[in-house]
Amino acid sequence: MNYLEIINELNQELYEKVGEIGRDFNYSTNGYVDIVNFGEIMIWSSEMDEREWEWMNDDYEPFKPFIKRMYNQEIEKLQLFKFRTNEHRKTELE
C-alpha cells in the first residue's frame, strides 16, 4: 500500500473542497510504525489498526475510506468544544 499516494489524494480532495486551511494530512514512519495525522491529531497508527476485517475480501477495509471516516469522527469530536458566541447577545437583549 502506498500511504504517501493516499495522503496526497486526501490532501488534494480537502483542498478542492475548502481551499487552503493551514492543516493537512501527513504520513510518517520510523520504519516499524506508520502514522497518519491531520495537523497534530493522530488519525491512524499501524500499531493500533482499527480497520474492520472484511471476511468476504479476506482483508481489512480499504485504507482511504477508513481514513476519511476517522477524520470525520475527529471533526465531530472537535465540534463538542465549540463555544457558543450568541449566549452573550441573548443576555444583552433580555
Residue 64 has pLDDT above 70, yes or no: yes
Which pTM does this prediction carry?
Answer: 0.79
Question: Over the stretch 25-52, which tens digit does the pLDDT of each residue have?
Answer: 999 999 999 999 999 999 999 999 999 9
Q: Give the DSSP letter of residue 71.
A: H
Distances (CA, A) of 40 to 8, 24, 36, 74, 94: 17, 9, 10, 12, 41
Question: How does residue 87 score in pLDDT terms, banded at 50, 70 and 90?
Answer: low
Domain ranges of the chain: 3-82
Q: What is the mean pLDDT of residues 17-27?
A: 89
Instruction: Using a pLDDT cut of 70, give the percent of the chain over it.
Output: 91
